[in-house]
Structure 1
Amino acid sequence: MKNIAQRNWYTEVRRSGNGELTGKTSYVDTFREAAAYLLVDVHSFIINEAWWEEQRSSNPIPAQTRQVTPLQGTEAYFSSGPALKEAGAFLKDPLAAALFSETVKGIIQAETFLLSERGYNSEDDYTKKWSDFYAGSCRYYSNLDQVAKDWYEYIGGSKRTGNLFVRFKTQSLFELGENQYLLTGNLSDSFHEVNVSLRIDDEFIVKEADGVLLRSPDIICRETASLLVNLEGIKLKGMVKKELASILGNGQGCVHLIDLVNDCMQMLDTFSFRL
Structure 2
Amino acid sequence: MYLFNRSITVNIRSIDGKSITVDGFFLDSHHELCLTLGVDLESNTITSAEGEFRRAPHSDCGQTQEKIKKLIGVNLNRYVRKQIQAAVGLEQGCTHLTDLTLECVKGIIQAKFRLMHLNMETEDIQPQVQQYLAGSCRHYKKS
> What displacement does 1:63 show?
6.0
Greater fraction of residues in strand: 1
Scaled by the length of structure 1, the TM-score of the pair is 0.44
Map 1:81-230 to 2 at 5 A. Answer: 81-87=81-87, 88-89=89-90, 92-115=93-116, 122-142=121-141
Scaled by the length of structure 2, the TM-score of the pair is 0.80
Paired with 1:128 and 1:113, the residues of 2 have a C-alpha distance of 15
Paired with 2:5 and 2:132, the residues of 1 have a C-alpha distance of 35
Give the gaps of 5 or more residues in structure 2: none
Q: Which residue of 2 aligns with 1:268?
A: none
Paired with 2:19 and 2:69, the residues of 1 have a C-alpha distance of 18
Paired with 1:90 and 1:111, the residues of 2 have a C-alpha distance of 32
Paired with 1:62 and 1:137, the residues of 2 have a C-alpha distance of 34
Task: Classify the secondary structure of the residue corresponding to 2:66.
Answer: strand
> What displacement does 1:127 show?
1.6
> What displacement does 1:131 show?
1.1
> What displacement does 1:134 show?
2.5
Task: Classify the secondary structure of the residue corresponding to 2:129.
Answer: helix
For the 8 Å contact 1:51–1:67, the answer to whether it is kept is no
How many pairs are equivalent?
141
Relative distance call for 1:35 and 1:77 in structure 2 (3 A) is: farther
Task: Classify the secondary structure of the residue corresponding to 1:51.
Answer: strand
Relative distance call for 1:85 and 1:94 in structure 2 (3 A) is: same
Relative distance call for 1:134 and 1:58 in structure 2 (3 A) is: same
CA RMSD of aligned residues (A): 3.0
For the 8 Å contact 2:21–2:36, the answer to whether it is kept is yes
Paired with 2:31 and 2:47, the residues of 1 have a C-alpha distance of 27
Cα distance per residue 1:237-257 (max 9 Å; x no partner): xxxxxxxxxxxxxxxxxxxxx
Between the aligned residues of both structures, percent identity stands at 25
For the 8 Å contact 1:25–1:37, the answer to whether it is kept is yes
For the 8 Å contact 1:20–1:39, the answer to whether it is kept is yes
> What displacement does 1:110 show?
0.4
Q: Tell me which structure has the larger Cα radius of gyration.
A: 1
